[in-house]
Amino acid sequence: MDSRKRKNSAAFYDVDGTLIRINIVHAFAFYAMRKPSLMSAVKTTAQTAASVPLFWAADKISRKWFNELFYRLYSGFSEDRLVILSEELFEEVIEPNIYPRARDLIDESRRAGCRQVLLSGALDFTMRPLARYLGVDDFIANRLEFKDGYATGKLAKPFVGGATKPTLMRDYARRHGIDLAESWAYSDSYSDLTMLAVVGRPTACNPDRRLRAVARSYDWPVLDLD
């Protein structure tokens, strides 16, 4: 049985759309609607709704631009409050939206001896309860910059998303003695093509139309976790 154990391989999972049905906008909406005062909650929610076309356009051009624009909305949020709300967010929103077969996939991968790593453009405090629930070894996520306990609306470096994911994966692999050629990556989005291309065993999970086409072209396995 030892032959099945892979000591130097890892499985990197994108999260939004890959393991869970929701995305960072849902998470922000949750935080926004739970602002301390009703007025500020309404204002932030309205602001977010009005910005949706802009976010959509930015995402089409660059995931990096989208994230920079989007995370400005967090400006002024208190760090303590976000951390506390993240637990509620997980229980009320994220956990019910985990794809039914996501847990099975992670279990299979763990049985094969792979190190389990979530790699997401979402925020670290949002990822933490999910990582704990899924029992993964590590997670790499975006971090907000805080000043005097309040978010500045900027992301701390290194930024996680799109083209930076393979760099972060390489760094992670170097630090943990992981052979990327013997590793897996799972994503649902064409914007994560580079993340998939950097490992030896890319797998498209619930892929969007463009990624599905790429996966078919390159004969990558396609999983449906729903």
Partner 1 sequence: MRAIRPRTRARDREQVVTIDTDSAPRILFSGENFLLEDLPVGTRVIYPRRPMTGVANRIAAIRYALNHPEDMPPLHALLEPGMRVTIAVDDISLPLPPMVRPDIRQTVLEIVCEMLADHGVDDVHIIVATSLHRRMTDGEIRRMVGDRVWNEFWPERLYNHDACDPDGMVVLGKTRHGELVESNKRAADSDLCIYVNINLVPMDGGHKSMGVGLCGYESLKAHHTPKAIVDSNSFMDPSNSALSSSVERIGRVVDEHLKVFHIETVLNSRMFSGPLDFLMKNEDDFTESDRLKFHAIKWTLDRTPRPLRREVFMRTPAAYELIGCYAGATEPAHAKTLAKCYEQYAVEVEGQADILITGIPYISPYNVNSKALNPLLVQVMALGYFYHMYRKRPLLRDGGVLILTHPCSDHFDPVHHPSYIEFFNRLLPETRDAYTLEKKYQDEFAYNPSYVEMYRRGNAYHGAHPFYMWYWGQRGREKVGRVIAVGTDNTTVPGLLGWETADTLAEAIAMGQSSTGRGAQITMMHHPPILITDVH
Residues forming contacts to partner 1 in the complex (CB under 8 A) are 1, 3-4, 11, 101, 104-105, 108-109, 111-112, 114, 184, 201, 203, 216, 219, 221-224
> For residues 148 and 219, which CB has a smaller minimum distance to partner 1 in the complex?
219
The closest of 24, 15, 16, 30 to 117, measured between CA atoms, is 15
Q: Rounded CA gap, 213 and 123, in Å?
A: 29
CB burial of residue 122 (10 Å; 0-12, 13-18, 19+): buried
CB of residue 128 to partner 1, shortest distance in Å:
24
> For residues 20 and 32, which CB has a smaller minimum distance to partner 1 in the complex?
20
User: Which helix (H) or strand (E) segment is 170 a member of?
Assistant: helix 164-176
CB of residue 11 to partner 1, shortest distance in Å:
7
CB of residue 14 to partner 1, shortest distance in Å:
14
The closest of 84, 160, 90 to 118, measured between CA atoms, is 160
Q: Are 183 and 165 in contact (CB under 8 A)?
A: no
CB of residue 13 to partner 1, shortest distance in Å:
11
> For residues 73 and 211, which CB has a smaller minimum distance to partner 1 in the complex?
211
Q: Rounded CA gap, 165 and 145, in Å?
A: 19
Helical spans, DSSP H, in 12-101 = 24-33, 38-61, 63-71, 79-89
Q: How many CA atoms lie within 13 A of 30 on its CB side?
A: 21
Four-CA torsion 45, 60, 68, 55, nearest 10 degrees: -10
> For residues 146 and 190, which CB has a smaller minimum distance to partner 1 in the complex?
190
> For residues 1 and 39, which CB has a smaller minimum distance to partner 1 in the complex?
1
CB of residue 101 to partner 1, shortest distance in Å:
5
> For residues 109 and 126, which CB has a smaller minimum distance to partner 1 in the complex?
109
CB of residue 218 to partner 1, shortest distance in Å:
10
